[in-house]
Structure 1
Amino acid sequence: MAEVTEILCPICHRPNLRRAKFCQHCGHDVVLNNDQPSDDRRYVITRIIKRGGQGAVYEGIDQHGRVYAIKEMLDRFADPKERAEAVARFNAEAELLQQLRHPRIPRVYSHFTDEGRHYLTMDFIRGEDLEQILEREGRIDEQRVLRWADEICDVLSYLHGKGFIYRDMKPSNVMIEPSGDVKLIDFGIAKLFKPTERGTQIGTPGYAPPEQYQGLATPQSDVYALAATLHHLLTGRDPTQELPFSFPPARTLVPTISERTSAALERALQKAPTDRFATMDEFRAALIPSTKPQPVQVRVVPKPAPAASAARPAVSPSQAAPATTVSPAIPQSPPASASGTTIQSPKVPPRRSPARFIGWFFVLGLIGLILLATFATVTRPDWLTLIIDPVSGDNTNSSFGEPLQVTYELEITVPSHATDEEILAAFREAFRARVQQEYSGRAQINQNIPISYFGKPEQIEESNDQITYRARLIGTIWVRK
């Protein structure tokens, strides 16, 4: 970030020198959180991001130069008692927001009153919101929307678990960072400073469900509003320009949308809360196919002993065992021994050239194959197991099913000086431990496909020279039958 040379007055918004303590134009104090400080941070405003009837959002820095978003809530109360109650609610909700720790929620740092104005400071998020993306691109590809939906469901489920109802889900409240990650912004705290009026709605028309027009909000209300947002993203149909609570099935508007997605949205957009998904996790499961693998169950039928003669006894269909695994036939292959594959070398014709050399090469190749099979039998590395077992015909030793992709969201704590390579190594170790825990030692990780990030790791806590990160990782495993 370039060095800050000018700061803005929080009252008249005119520029001042960086070192100024008071505005050279109106004389007001330009340093925030020094009137009734809530902590040791002191802020100055560097840029106006947005101003409206309820307040403003600024970019600012603290005394150490760290960048923040600074929200100002305007006080519209005429009754001193209502004002005191609103300030108390503001402080209580701000303190709750400060306790939230999630990679898709901007962290709240300070909340304070300065010269009669109420402020909240949080992480500054760079990127653009979904409303801006919609205006530029029109409707958006389903896979891209589902990736965002997965992250939004995750953060809303977290909020519900903490006792929060978001109440104002809409495209403009979802930021997409340059990395592609989602951030949920604007927790509606400014509404605490709006005087209470009978019939005042909570939420945004077009996205808010019917019950919010009566001042009611539940987790099912967030389900509806998120579905309305996703419907807008997928179809390009702006619900604020249509009849209230009217959402045609998404698939009738855009036939390429999958039946699964369209059906999940249709249920989530029901007018009665009881007809929707009960929780955000249920909506997420209906909307997005699960990536969690299920253990593969396979019955392997032992090979029958060789018959003494060519005649075979008749077997009725009811007595026949179903065969689930078939080994590829290898022409002229003798039976396998306990230690590997034993193959008799063909006789090499004496004193015949070049057949003599071809025979020797064949013998050496067979010896190499035997050594490879023996190595696989003793060490059983995953990549050799998958090659040797079909060749040897030893289905009883072929203990792994098809490769499966799994993803986990993990947290690690490392020293604050850890490098990117050390952080990735710690995440990979946590991934291996999670695989062993979930599959009770029955799974092996494919070392040929490295465990990698699915998204970007994010810092969620820092204390005592330790930093805690959260990230989603993806890897490929084999599960024992």
Structure 2
Amino acid sequence: MRARQKLGKYRIEKRLADGPLAAVYQAFDTIHGLRVALKIPHRRMMDDYFLADFRKEVRMLAKLDHPNILPIQNACFIDGYFVISMPLGIDTLGGRLQRRISTEKALDFTGQILAAIAHAHEEGIIHCDIKPDNFILFPGNVLRLADFGFSKLARRRIEASGSGTVGYVAPEQAMGRPLLASDVFSTGLVLYRLFAGTLPRWPYDWPPPGAARLRKKLHPEMVALIRRAIEVKPNRRYRDGARMLAAFEAIRQPAAGRRA
């Protein structure tokens, strides 16, 4: 899609992201008079097989009503394209990580990240692609989890491809066996980067680079929470996002009291 190209009531302004399945554009809604984000599958994905996945994403998100999950405003076919319209944020967490974040603000982001994942898990949904670029930042420092395109339903047996993003994907998910605990692992890596400024690498031996910075910033119980989340063996992690959120809330005040 090109800048100024019209797509129904939308006028394309610029491309924001380009993934393996779809591109995301900033567009202007000429009827409502506001800017939105449009997720549009690549032309090569416009067949019945892949369109079924995009419809599934829309229906899945319709189940998720939470302030930290990005809602879908509309989904329809326009001029042969399948178009998903969503609220437009001001940045991604990935972009925000390029600038200094105070420990207090990082702890606030942590609570929002875990709340979003806990809600999805309570609905039986594994996100399968937890990473900083999939958290959209809105005014007021509100984070919303986006891009459920790789998501799987945990209530039935999963035989998935190794979907996810290299650097954040859990070992068992890379082997095609995602669990709720796989999202926990990816979340632990996001939090490690959020506080330590670097990303641990395989084989995730403790302490990874940046651990000294982590210990300087955070209460030992918060460090232990992150360490448990990135255990290689799933049964050593928190079972799901709800349990990780509960553990975080139990130690949040001590952690906040130790901010840098």
Matched, 1:71 2:39: yes
After TM superposition, list the pairs within 5 Å mapping 1:46-85 onto structure 2: 46-51=13-18, 54-60=21-27, 61-76=29-44, 83-85=47-49
Query: Per residue, is there more helix in 1 or in 2?
Result: 2
State whether residues 57 and 69 of structure 1, in contact with CA within 8 Å, keep that contact through their aligned partners in structure 2: yes
Residue 135 (str. 1) matches residue 98 (str. 2): yes
> Does the CA-based 8 Å contact 1:224-1:269 persist in structure 2?
yes
Percent identity, aligned pairs only, is 27
Q: Relative to structure 1, is the Cα distance of residues 71 and 190 closer, same or farther in structure 2, using a 3 angstrom cutoff?
A: farther
Q: 1:221 to 1:148 in 2, by over 3 A?
A: same
The within-5 A match list for 1:84-233 is: 84-126=48-90, 128-137=91-100, 140-188=101-149, 200-233=161-194
Structure 1 residue 208: deviation in Å?
Answer: 1.1
Change (3 A) 1:64 1:288: closer
Contact 1:206 1:245 in 2 (8 A): no
Asked whether the 8 Å contact 1:111–1:118 carries over to 2, the reply is yes
Give yes or no for contact 2:26–2:88 (8 Å, CA) kept in 1: yes
| 1:465 alignment partner in structure 2 | none
Q: Which residue number in structure 2 is paired with residue 261 of structure 1?
A: 222
> Map of 1:18-57 to 2, 5 A cutoff?
30-32=6-8, 42-51=9-18, 54-57=21-24
**CA deviation string 1:315-355 (max 9, x = no partner):** xxxxxxxxxxxxxxxxxxxxxxxxxxxxxxxxxxxxxxxxx
The match for 2:243 is 282
CA contact (8 A) 2:134 2:145 kept: yes
Structure 1 residue runs without a partner (length 5+): 1-9, 17-29, 33-41, 192-197, 293-481
- The amino acid of 1:108's aligned partner reads I
Q: Deviations over 1:390-432 (max 9, x none)?
A: xxxxxxxxxxxxxxxxxxxxxxxxxxxxxxxxxxxxxxxxxxx
Q: For the residues of structure 1 that align with 2:71 and 2:108, how far apart are their CA atoms?
A: 22
For the 8 Å contact 2:36–2:85, the answer to whether it is kept is: yes
SS at match of 1:135: coil
Q: Following TM superposition, by how much is the alpha carbon of 1:187 offset from its aligned partner in structure 2, in angstroms?
A: 2.2
| Distance change (3 Å), C-alpha of 1:142 and 1:208 | same
RMSD: 2.9
Larger relative contact order (Cα-Cα within 8 Å, sequence gap ≥ 6): 2
3-state DSSP of counterpart to 2:98: helix
Structure whose CA Rg is larger: 1
Give the AA of the match of 1:113. Answer: F
For 1:130-175, what per-residue CA distance to the aligned partner results, in whole angstroms no more than 9, with x for missing partners? 22222233xx443322211111111111111222211111122223
Q: Summarize the Cα distance change of 1:248–1:206 in structure 2 as closer, same or farther, 3 Å threshold.
A: farther
Which amino acid is the alignment partner of residue 83 of structure 2?
Y
- Give how far 1:85 is off: 2.5
Tell me the alpha carbon deviations over residues 179-231 of structure 1, each in whole angstroms, 9 at most, x when there is no partner. Answer: 1222222223599xxxxxx9942111221110111122221111111111101
Show structure 2 runs of 5+ residues with no match.
Answer: 153-158, 254-260
Q: 1:48, CA displacement in angstroms? A: 3.0
Which stretch of the first structure deviates more once superposed, 267-276 or 198-207? 198-207
CA deviation map 1:287-340 (0-9, x unaligned): 333689xxxxxxxxxxxxxxxxxxxxxxxxxxxxxxxxxxxxxxxxxxxxxxxx
TM-score by length of 2: 0.81
1:286 aligns to what SS in structure 2?
helix
1:243 aligns with 2:202: yes
Secondary structure of the structure 1 residue equivalent to 2:227:
helix
Q: 1:259 to 1:55 in 2, by over 3 A?
A: same
Structure 1 residues 72 and 190 mapped into 2: Cα distance closer, same or farther (>3 Å)? farther
Count of residues in correspondence between the two structures? 244
Letter in 1 for 2:32: H
SS at match of 2:61: helix
Deviation at 1:286, TM superposition (A): 2.4
